[in-house]
């Protein structure tokens, strides 16, 4: 049976077929659909964790219990999960543990483009990198086998093109004889106190040598000898680009990108005249080969940043770059949806002229014009710590607001809030509770009352949670009610302690109350343009008048308008009203 699958769907199918007891992760583009696909498969079991560290720890627990686990995350998620990863490398596993880490060269949807291959090297765990959906399927299955054979977690690295691109997959046999769970009964292996860890570290070094030896002879290290004038070492999606632009060149395709199969590489290097390494982002293979005394041409010809394309690869190889057909499309920067509950919040913060320590989610769009109301954004959860740090730097906390989404708060906002309270900081934190993880496609979380599969689940009470952390001033407001919101934020800014204001309104992409669309009274509109300054895609403008002061006539598209009436509230002439 041949299927056409994305890389993510292929990984999910492979995990199901490999008999995983659990898929667990935290959403993050481009990895997110993997668990969503797994949950939809017959026999597939998947759940969201509040963050990647917890996800990996749960996966480690499944593996310690003798069953297989797939853990999924995007590249920055591996930073969060790094702590358990490094020590799980020492403990090893019982059941197979595969950790999908999806990198995002080119930053289609990320705040940096770090190269996760560094983690394989730093944590001393094998890393597989598939080149198409068939390999995504096969390498996932292989990851579980290798994990068990070599007693190690195995990283499975994809990049956006692989995760989201589709190609054919012929699945293998589904495993039927699944092992019974077994509690861990070997403290010397699973309790990493120094005395035990020293022994385990020795085994890890020995394991590296054995995995490398295996990879030298394994079919996933594939020397394709053609014209030997040029040899190219590559992996992942770049293998496809290399084949496309240099079909006659010899290629050493690496399936295992850590540890490198040095003997196989040496043998290949000896067969070709000029040797290139084609790798996106960092010169990880190149530097290891240089250290092993294998001369290659790499980053001197290929950029160390951004996503490769066939044209980039061709140029680096000194070949003519094929012109890709270009489509004349207008640029469409991301924007908050019509009715998005975040819009009024940023309008208000801009109006108040406060410094906004932002965070990651749809609300990061608050930085974009015309709202332009965010001053910092580092990583998930950083808003609260940064607001705290600004206060410690001596900036008046009555002029600073930390803004964080509900999913992000549960991911990594609880401890920095606790830190503010514990260390006697003062400041205002806004939790934008839109009842979902909107940014990555509306995933459930511990605050939504539903699990990944949509089943009912306990819903964490954010107000109670903040109070129990010791926050003395906690309140819930409606982000559609601009005046009341402004007054409450002012009150919090004046408060001599920590305030948390939860702005609660559902995301427009999840079930929500319906409101009548708004309309502008064309005759009474004074063309002041204020309603256009909230950047609502439902409000279009037509240029009117000529001369020195061209004006724009706003018009509300009734099909797009969600009726939030934020525009109506800020119209100074009250000419925006309900359509019904
Ligand atoms: C460590 C890490 N994991 C995952 C992501 C991907 N990601 C970015 S924002 C976000 C959550 C956004 O949800 P929420 O905070 O509720 O804000 P919303 O988008 O709903 O406004 C996720 C999962 C990331 N950037 N970093």
Instruction: Looking at the structure, tell me whether residues 59 and 204 fall in a common domain.
Output: yes
In a domain, 486, yes or no: yes
SS3 at position 290 = helix
pLDDT of the chain, 580 residues: tens digit per residue: 899 999 999 999 999 999 999 999 999 999 999 999 999 999 999 999 999 999 999 999 999 999 999 999 999 999 999 999 999 999 999 999 999 999 999 999 999 999 999 999 999 999 999 999 999 999 999 999 999 999 999 999 999 999 999 999 999 999 999 999 999 999 999 999 999 999 999 999 999 999 999 999 999 999 999 999 999 999 999 999 999 999 999 999 999 999 999 999 999 999 999 999 999 999 999 999 999 999 999 999 999 999 999 999 999 999 998 777 788 888 888 899 999 999 999 999 999 999 999 999 999 999 999 999 999 999 999 999 999 999 999 999 999 999 999 999 999 999 999 999 999 999 999 999 999 999 999 999 999 999 999 999 999 999 999 999 999 999 999 999 999 999 999 999 999 999 999 999 999 999 999 999 999 999 999 999 999 999 999 999 999 877 777 789 999 999 999 999 999 999 999 999 998 7
Per-residue model confidence as pLDDT tens digits over 431-487: 999 999 999 999 999 999 999 999 999 999 999 999 999 999 999 999 999 999 999
Return the residue whose CA atom lies nearest to atom 4 of ligand 1. Answer: 28
Per the confidence metrics, is the pTM higher than 0.85? yes
The torsion angle over the Cα atoms of residues 58, 102, 213 and 61, rounded to 10 degrees, is 0
Instruction: Looking at the structure, tell me whether residues 225 and 205 fall in a common domain.
Output: no
If you measure from the C-alpha of residue 409 to the centroid of ligand 1, how many angstroms do you get, rounded to a whole number?
9
If you measure from the C-alpha of residue 144 to the centroid of ligand 1, how many angstroms do you get, rounded to a whole number?
28
Distance between CA 372 and CA 367 in Å, rounded?
A: 4
Predicted local distance difference test score (pLDDT) of residue 327: 83
- DSSP notation for 128-150: E--SSHHHHHHHHHHHHHHHHHH
In a domain, 376, yes or no: yes
Q: How far is CA 301 from CA 307, 430, 455, in A?
A: 15, 47, 52
User: To test ligand 1's pocket by mutation, which of 109, 371, 408 has the most ligand atoms within 8 angstroms of CB?
Assistant: 408
If you measure from the C-alpha of residue 412 to the centroid of ligand 1, how many angstroms do you get, rounded to a whole number?
10
If you measure from the C-alpha of residue 315 to the centroid of ligand 1, how many angstroms do you get, rounded to a whole number?
36
Return the residue whose CA atom lies nearest to atom 10 of ligand 1. Answer: 361
Bridging pattern class, strands 355-357 and 400-405: parallel
> Can you tell me which atom of ligand 1 is nearest the CA of 445?
16
Distance between CA 327 and CA 160 in Å, rounded?
A: 21
Distance between CA 482 and CA 566 in Å, rounded?
A: 7
Domain residues for the domain of 423 are: 342-504
What's the total number of domains in the chain?
4
One-letter-per-residue 3-state SS of 309-337: CHHHHHHHCCCCCCCCCCCCCCCCCCCCC
In a domain, 329, yes or no: no
Q: What are phi and psi of 52, to 5 degrees?
A: -70, -30
Q: How many CB atoms lie within 10 A of CB 511?
A: 7
Would you say 521 and 553 are in contact if contact means Cβ atoms under 8 Å apart? Answer: no
Instruction: Looking at the structure, tell me whether residues 258 and 208 fall in a common domain.
Output: no
Instruction: Looking at the structure, tell me whether residues 387 and 402 fall in a common domain.
Output: yes
Question: Which of 458, 482, 504 lies at the terminal end of a domain, its last residue?
Answer: 504
Per-residue model confidence as pLDDT tens digits over 46-93: 999 999 999 999 999 999 999 999 999 999 999 999 999 999 999 999
Instruction: Looking at the structure, tell me whether residues 496 and 544 fall in a common domain.
Output: no
- Ligand 1 is surrounded, with C-beta below 6 A, by 26-28, 52, 74, 76-77, 80, 360-363, 380, 405-408, 432, 434, 436-440
If you measure from the C-alpha of residue 26 to the centroid of ligand 1, how many angstroms do you get, rounded to a whole number?
9
Instruction: Looking at the structure, tell me whether residues 13 and 111 fall in a common domain.
Output: yes
Q: What are phi and psi of 446, to 5 degrees?
A: -65, -10
Return the residue whose CA atom lies nearest to atom 12 of ligand 1. Answer: 361
Would you say 503 and 341 are in contact if contact means Cβ atoms under 8 Å apart? Answer: yes
205: CB partners within 8 A, 6+ apart: 124
Would you say 403 and 343 are in contact if contact means Cβ atoms under 8 Å apart? Answer: no
Instruction: Looking at the structure, tell me whether residues 476 and 541 fall in a common domain.
Output: no
DSSP 8-state class, residue 24: E
Return the residue whose CA atom lies nearest to atom 5 of ligand 1. Answer: 28
261: CB partners within 8 A, 6+ apart: 212, 215, 216, 218, 221, 254
**Does residue 30 have a cis bond before it (omega within 30 degrees)?**
yes
User: To test ligand 1's pocket by mutation, which of 104, 341, 436, 437 has the most ligand atoms within 8 angstroms of CB?
Assistant: 437
If you measure from the C-alpha of residue 138 to the centroid of ligand 1, how many angstroms do you get, rounded to a whole number?
30
Would you say 232 and 224 are in contact if contact means Cβ atoms under 8 Å apart? Answer: no
User: To test ligand 1's pocket by mutation, which of 74, 99, 432, 439 has the most ligand atoms within 8 angstroms of CB?
Assistant: 439
Tokens describing residue 262: 């040095």
The runs of H, that is alpha helices, within 444-519 are: 462-468, 482-494
In a domain, 322, yes or no: no
Would you say 151 and 23 are in contact if contact means Cβ atoms under 8 Å apart? Answer: no
Instruction: Looking at the structure, tell me whether residues 450 and 541 fall in a common domain.
Output: no
If you measure from the C-alpha of residue 102 to the centroid of ligand 1, how many angstroms do you get, rounded to a whole number?
15
In a domain, 411, yes or no: yes
Instruction: Looking at the structure, tell me whether residues 256 and 198 fall in a common domain.
Output: no
In a domain, 327, yes or no: no
């Amino acid at each position: 049976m041949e299927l056409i699958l994305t890389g993510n769907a292929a990984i999910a199918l492979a995990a199901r077929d490999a008999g995983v007891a659990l898929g667990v992760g935290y959403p993050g583009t481009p990895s997110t659909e993997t668990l969503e696909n797994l949950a939809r498969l017959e026999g597939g079991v998947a759940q969201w964790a509040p963050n990647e560290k917890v996800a990996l720890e749960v996966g480690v627990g499944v593996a310690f219990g003798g069953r297989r686990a797939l853990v999924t995350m995007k590249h920055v998620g591996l930073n969060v999960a790094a702590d358990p990863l490094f020590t799980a490398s020492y403990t090893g596993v019982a059941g197979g543990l595969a950790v999908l880490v999806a990198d995002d060269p080119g930053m289609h949807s990320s705040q940096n483009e770090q190269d996760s291959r560094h983690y394989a090297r730093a944590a001393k765990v094998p890393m597989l990198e598939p080149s198409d959906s068939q390999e995504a399927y096969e390498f996932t299955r292989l990851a579980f086998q290798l994990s068990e054979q070599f007693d190690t977690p195995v990283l499975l690295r994809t990049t956006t093109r692989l995760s989201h691109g589709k190609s054919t997959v012929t699945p293998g046999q589904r495993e039927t004889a699944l092992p019974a769970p077994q509690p861990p009964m070997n403290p010397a292996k699973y309790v990493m106190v120094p005395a035990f860890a020293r022994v385990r570290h020795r085994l890890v070094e020995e394991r590296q040598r054995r995995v490398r030896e295996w990879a030298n002879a394994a079919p996933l290290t594939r020397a394709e000898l053609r014209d030997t004038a040029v040899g190219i070492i590559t992996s992942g999606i770049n293998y496809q680009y290399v084949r496309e632009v240099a079909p006659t060149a010899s290629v050493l395709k690496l399936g295992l990108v850590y540890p490198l199969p040095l003997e196989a590489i040496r043998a290949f290097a000896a067969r070709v005249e000029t040797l290139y390494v084609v790798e996106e982002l960092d010169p990880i293979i190149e530097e290891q080969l240089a250290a092993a005394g294998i001369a290659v041409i790499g980053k001197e010809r290929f950029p160390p940043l951004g996503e490769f394309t066939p044209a980039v690869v061709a140029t680096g190889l000194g070949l003519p770059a094929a012109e890709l057909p270009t489509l004349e499309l207008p640029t469409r920067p991301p924007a908050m949806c019509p009715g998005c509950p975040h819009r009024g919040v940023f309008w208000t913060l801009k109006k108040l002229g406060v410094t906004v320590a932002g965070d990651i989610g749809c609300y990061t769009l608050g930085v974009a014009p015309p709202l332009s109301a965010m001053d910092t954004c580092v990583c998930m959860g950083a808003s609260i710590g940064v607001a705290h740090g600004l206060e410690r730097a001596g900036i008046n906390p009555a002029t600073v607001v930390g803004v964080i989404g509900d999913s992000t708060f549960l991911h990594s906002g609880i401890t920095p809030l606790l830190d503010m309270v514990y260390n006697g900081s003062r400041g205002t934190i806004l939790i934008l509770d839109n009842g979902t993880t909107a940014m990555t496609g509306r995933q459930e979380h511990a605050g939504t009352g539903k699990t990944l599969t949509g089943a009912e689940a306990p819903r964490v009470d954010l107000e109670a949670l903040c109070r129990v952390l010791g926050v003395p001033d906690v309140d819930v407001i409606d982000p559609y009610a601009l005046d009341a919101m402004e007054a409450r934020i002012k009150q919090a800014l004046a408060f001599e302690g920590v305030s948390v204001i939860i702005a609660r309104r559902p995301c427009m992409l999840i079930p929500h109350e319906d409101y009548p669309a708004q309309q502008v009274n064309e005759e009474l509109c004074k063309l002041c343009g204020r309603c256009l300054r909230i950047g609502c895609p439902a409000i279009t403008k037509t240029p009117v008048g000529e001369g020195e002061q061209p004006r724009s006539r706003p018009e509300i598209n009734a099909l797009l308008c969600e009726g939030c009436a934020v525009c109506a509230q800020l119209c100074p002439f009250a000419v925006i009203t309900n359509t019904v």
